Structure 1
Amino acid sequence: MMGVLEGVLMELKDCAPLLKDIIATDKEKVTFKHLDMAFFVGSMPRREGMEGKDLLKANVKIFKSQVSALGKYAKNSVKVIVVGNPANTSCPTVIKSAPSIPKESFCCFSHLDHNQAMAQIALKLGVTSKDIKNVILCRNHSYTQYPDINHAKGKYEGKEVGVYEALKDDRWLKGEFIMTVQQHGATLIMARKLSNEVSAVKAIGDHIRVLWLEPQWQYVCMGVMSDGKSYAVPEDLLYSFAVAIKNQSWEIVEGPD
């Protein structure tokens, strides 16, 4: 696959004016040496009709070898984000395969679902996604996830208002909106015959930005290890919580305003 990787390298150079250097390699020691941040995106692509459980067995093999190398060669302060699905199940595998790295340094991807929920609300209000904040994605990246907009706010008609108050449409919020977010991935695959790519890459960039630079709003959603206290979620389960970011670390937000 090195030939394919060289093609990706060419595209990255075309698309990234701030890029100073990039190393294309198939050697784990080179890949993981002195890393500050690692994204695990390599997994079996989801196909039409597949669920997360169908991907799990294959992806464990993919992640296990790579994460062992991560623990051996990366900085102990490395931040690790698991993107490959099922992310909430793969992430504990990653954590257990690199015991030298604190589990608080790991999180999994829920920013794609976060972006999808904000986009649906923005389209309904006739604004843009950048005008929406504090949407919470609960649970995990699957058809059981729950988009919570009870604390969401948006710029609407020149002022900041609660999204619930602005929409005034319980039927849509409790029906079509939730189903659209929950089933968005499967619906997209049915249309494209492939998993989403552009929106996923955009969401990865957003995730880096909020973790590294801290969000301008109060909190963001990430799949993180539960502490056994917050929201009655059992300890050591990967779950998408509202988290506050400070100094490139996350903290679960209890009872957001």
Structure 2
Amino acid sequence: MAKDPEKPSYSSSHWRQWLNGLAVLFIIAFFWTLIKYMWSFVKIEKEPVKVLVTGAAGMLNLIFHLVFLGQIGYAIVPMIARGLMLGPDQPMILHLLDIEQAGEALDGVSMELIDSAFPLLKGVVHTTDVVEACKDVNIAIMVGGIPRKEGMERNTMLSKNVSIYKAQASALEQHAAADCKVLVVANPANTNALILKEFAPSIPVQNITCLTRLDHNRALSQIAEKIPNNVHVSDVKNVIIWGNHSSTQYPDLNHATATTISGVKPVRELVDSHWSKTEFITTVQQRGAAIIKARKASSALSAASAACDHIRDWVLGTPKGTWVSMGVYSDGSYGIPSGLMYSFPVTCEKGIWSIVQGLKIDEFSRAKMDATAKELIEEKAVAHSCLD
């Protein structure tokens, strides 16, 4: 029978070529797997990041007899050294700054850090010299400052902070790394950050922020406690803190969601509407005062944790579909006047934050957002009068 001319014929040479090709692919796959296996044993350490913490000794509360945020500095440095801020594979050198009266206490903090033998901690610079402290730093966490004390006029408090942040801004301007990221924690955080921005003009405005993540975390926790069936705080996301880190801030849950046993649900469907517009807001606004009343000191632990959260998300990025609250320089979004340090919902990617756009704002929220913006405008005017 004649062979079908359209039917391919496979000779032994074709089979040999096919087997040779298969052998080559197998060898390539084998060596690629071997290289990846061997590479897994090669540890390439990142360059250390220099992190400045001001008010690191936590002693100003004793020196000035104030309820002060200085203990945040003492609380945050071990968190940073353990990798909670920059990740478990990022080494760092800590730069610790405090005033001269706290110099001896600062020595003690440095000794404690060394004694803790943190694997990621590659060095400690502890000093009362602002220039030395700011030298080549990549991240600056500004904890040092003087908050308003009972009986103190707001102008007096702002005036004292203007002088502090003017000096520290100048040092950062001249001596920090060109890409330095700054987080202002000390109250009034928004206005302190604005002062720093004005006296450090070479630092990109995108690189100066203030802390409202503590309020954001408080809001998440309040929602988790309110929702039935034991929803965990990690199941709640996309709450917003609008405005000033003060009693006028607006905690907004209108866009928040929670993962429940029935799936992902809008938070406003899971909680009482009256609670969301009254008790929820006042509890978050007054939480700091409640903690001071309970422990006779400010909320240092939770503030330090929130500062780590803020920097970690800023540097490493926010999870997909999730935003966080950060005090940033307003660009006019949501009708907020430009030129204010105002808390917005933001997402972060590759070290850059972006304000979440397109959220619907109802009449109730609009009034709350404008009220806290008004307070920031007033604080800005007072700070400028102090500069004059």
Does TM, scored on the shorter chain, surpass 0.5?
A: yes
Name the counterpart of 2:124. 22
SS in 2 for 1:99: coil
User: Residue type matched to 1:146 in 2?
Assistant: Y
In structure 2, relative to structure 1, the CA distance for the partners of 1:17 and 1:98 (3 Å cut) is same
Instruction: Decide whether the 8 Å contact of 2:318 with 2:349 is kept in 1.
Output: no
How far did residue 226 of structure 1 move? Answer: 0.9
Name the counterpart of 1:61. 163
1:35-78 Cα distance to aligned partner (Å, 9 max, x none): 11111110125556779766322211211111101000012211
Name the counterpart of 1:118. 220
How far did residue 249 of structure 1 move? Answer: 1.2
Instruction: Decide whether the 8 Å contact of 1:149 with 1:163 is kept in 2.
Output: yes
* Residues in 1 aligned to 2:346 and 2:315: alpha-carbon distance in whole angstroms: 14
Q: How does 1:1-257 map to 2 (within 5 A)?
A: 1-13=102-114, 14=116, 16=118, 18-45=120-147, 47=149, 55-125=157-227, 126-157=230-261, 159-167=263-271, 169-216=272-319, 217-228=321-332, 230-256=333-359
Instruction: Decide whether the 8 Å contact of 2:147 with 2:188 is kept in 1.
Output: no
Greater Rg, structure 1 or structure 2?
A: 2
Instruction: Decide whether the 8 Å contact of 1:46 with 1:194 is kept in 2.
Output: no
Instruction: Decide whether the 8 Å contact of 2:184 with 2:192 is kept in 1.
Output: yes
Gaps of 5+ in 1: none
* Residues in 2 aligned to 1:49 and 1:157: alpha-carbon distance in whole angstroms: 50
SS in 2 for 1:75: coil
Q: TM-score, normalised by structure 2?
A: 0.62
* Residues in 1 aligned to 2:266 and 2:325: alpha-carbon distance in whole angstroms: 18
**Count of matched residue positions in the alignment of Structure 1 and Structure 2:** 255
How far did residue 134 of structure 1 move? Answer: 0.5
Q: Give percent identity, aligned residues only.
A: 46
What is the aligned-residue RMSD (CA, Å)?
A: 2.1
SS in 2 for 1:62: helix
SS in 1 for 2:251: strand
* Residues in 2 aligned to 1:176 and 1:10: alpha-carbon distance in whole angstroms: 44
Instruction: Decide whether the 8 Å contact of 1:139 with 1:146 is kept in 2.
Output: yes
User: Residue type matched to 1:2 in 2?
Assistant: G
SS in 2 for 1:90: helix
